[in-house]
Amino acid sequence: MKLIKHLATATLALGVATGAMAAGHGEKTKVGFVYVGPVGDGGWTYEHNQGRLAVEEHFGDQVETVFVESVPEGPDSERVMTQMALEGADLIFTTSFGYMDPTINVASKFPDVKFEHATGYKTADNVSVYSARFYEGRAVQGLIAGSMTKSNIIGYIGSYPIPEVIRGINSAYIQAKKVNPDVEFKIVWAYTWFDPAKEADAAKVLIEQGADVILQHTDSTAPQAAAQEAGNVYTFGQASDMIEYAPMPRVSSIIDNWSPYYIARTQAVIDGTWETANTWDGIGAGMVGIGEITDAVPADVKEAALALKDAIASGDVHPFTGPLNKQDGSAWLAEGETADDGTLAGLNFYVEGITGEIPQ
């Protein structure tokens, strides 16, 4: 038994060593991507894959990229990452929150491989985390949504009640309320990131309940299709531009733009300057893009939305600026005070005015 154990450890160590050697001496830098959805989802994974393609285009023959799509979070992702590391990947992007612990586990076994985990919070000597301030884009959406609604009911398709999604709801609500004090948010939780059937159902329910603007934090275009069918409902592209539904129902979008980050990090690995980082960039740095605002939006609203976008990009406006109360009426931010990143990262409450409870 003991012999087997030693043998097993030895082979594993050998594997790690050969993996590391491949990393050191291979002519090409190998970059791996682990995707949670299919590359054709038209949303989250699609944009990460665009980032991968941008890396290929930018570096040409210098870099080789590999990817595996629709990898379940948990042990399967751990295996896929290990496989990439064994086969000589120098840098691996793991692009879903649920890959957090697996990334840390695999990273500890391959100290010479660099890992980049999207939307998580655990770092290590060879693990960086990165995410985008999508809530900045949500603020712009909220302004347009609040101005466009006639029924004063805005539908919101949430994926999972996690800080990331709750931030978006709050940010959109704050701006919508500013331009339209009568606005009301109806929130449906789909408990999925990508499920066209469920997302379409959620959109239909919201439309039936009188919503004439729908915001979504899920990745498929199914809500856009449902809105198009209903006729007079406005939507926003999520993660990806979803331009095929413009000018109506899609009036604008939040676009995740990972390309500059992926290129910069790959360059850092090639140069040997890669260091652990905790990146959280927004509109200003170009990680969050606002898709074209179509002519379905009145000119003055468009102008106001673009002004807000520029103000957020330059840092003049923070979407979470006091006075703001929590949902229960207790004070959160005083006049002029802005939320700190720590609170935002773990945000688990609604601001005052949003009805309904965050499911637990």
Partner 1 sequence: MFKIEKRPIPSAKWNWGAPIVAVLLTMVFGGALFAVLGVNPFLALEKIFYEPLLGEYAFYYRPQLLVKAAPLILIAIGLSLGFRAGIWNIGAEGQYIIGALCGAGLALALYPMELFILLPLMVIAGAIGGALWGLIPAFLKVRFGTNEILVSLMLVYVAEQLLASMALGLMKNPEGMGFPGSRNLQQYPSAHNAEIISGTGMHWGVVAALIAVIFAYIVLSRHMFGFSLRMSGMAPRAAKFAGVNPTRMVLICMGISGALAGMAGLFEIAGPAGQVSIDFNVGYGFTAIIVAFLGRLNPVGILLAGILMALTYIGGEITQSQMGLPLAAIQVFQGMLLFFLLAMDLLTNYRFRPTAKEAA
Closest approach of partner 1 to the CB of residue 79, in Å: 5
24 belongs to the binding site for partner 1 (CB under 8 A): no
Closest approach of partner 1 to the CB of residue 234, in Å: 29
Closest approach of partner 1 to the CB of residue 308, in Å: 27
Which of residues 24, 26, 38, 356 is near partner 1 by CB under 8 A? Answer: 38
130 belongs to the binding site for partner 1 (CB under 8 A): no
* 3-state SS track over the chain: CHHHHHHHHHHHHHHHHHHHHHHHHCCCEEEEEECCCCCCCCCHHHHHHHHHHHHHHHHHHHEEEEEECCCCCCHHHHHHHHHHHHCCCCEEEECCHHHHHHHHHHHHHCCCCEEEEECCCCCECCEEEEEECHHHHHHHHHHHHHHHCCCCEEEEEECCCCHHHHHHHHHHHHHHHHHCCCCEEEEEECCCCCCHHHHHHHHHHHHHCCCCEEEECCCCCHHHHHHHHHCCCEEEECCCCCHHHCCCCEEEEEEECCHHHHHHHHHHHHHCCCCCCEEEECCCCCCEEEECCCCCCCHHHHHHHHHHHHHHHHCCCCCCECCEEECCCCEEECCCCECCHHHHHCCCCCECCCCCCCCC
201 belongs to the binding site for partner 1 (CB under 8 A): no
17 belongs to the binding site for partner 1 (CB under 8 A): no
135 belongs to the binding site for partner 1 (CB under 8 A): no
- Part of the chain binding partner 1 (CB under 8 A), chosen from 11-19, 207-215, 271-279, 320-328: 11-19
26 belongs to the binding site for partner 1 (CB under 8 A): no
Closest approach of partner 1 to the CB of residue 189, in Å: 9
Amino acid at 170: N
112 belongs to the binding site for partner 1 (CB under 8 A): no
x-marked contacts with partner 1 along 155-174 as a string, rule CB under 8 A: -----xxxx-----------
Q: Which of residues 283-312 bind partner 1 (CB under 8 A)?
A: none
Which of residues 17, 21, 70, 340 is near partner 1 by CB under 8 A? Answer: 70
**CA 128/CA 113 separation, integer angstroms:** 12
Which of residues 24, 26, 75, 356 is near partner 1 by CB under 8 A? Answer: 75
Closest approach of partner 1 to the CB of residue 136, in Å: 20
Residue number with CB closer to partner 1 (84 or 213) = 84
x-marked contacts with partner 1 along 333-352 as a string, rule CB under 8 A: ------------xxxx----
3 belongs to the binding site for partner 1 (CB under 8 A): no
83 belongs to the binding site for partner 1 (CB under 8 A): yes
280 belongs to the binding site for partner 1 (CB under 8 A): no
326 belongs to the binding site for partner 1 (CB under 8 A): no
Identify which of 98, 119, 104, 99 has the alpha carbon closest to the alpha carbon of residue 346.
119
Residues found near partner 1 in the complex (CB under 8 A) = 1, 4-5, 8-9, 11-12, 15, 32, 38-39, 66-76, 78-80, 82-84, 86-87, 97-98, 101, 105, 121, 160-163, 191, 345-348, 359-360
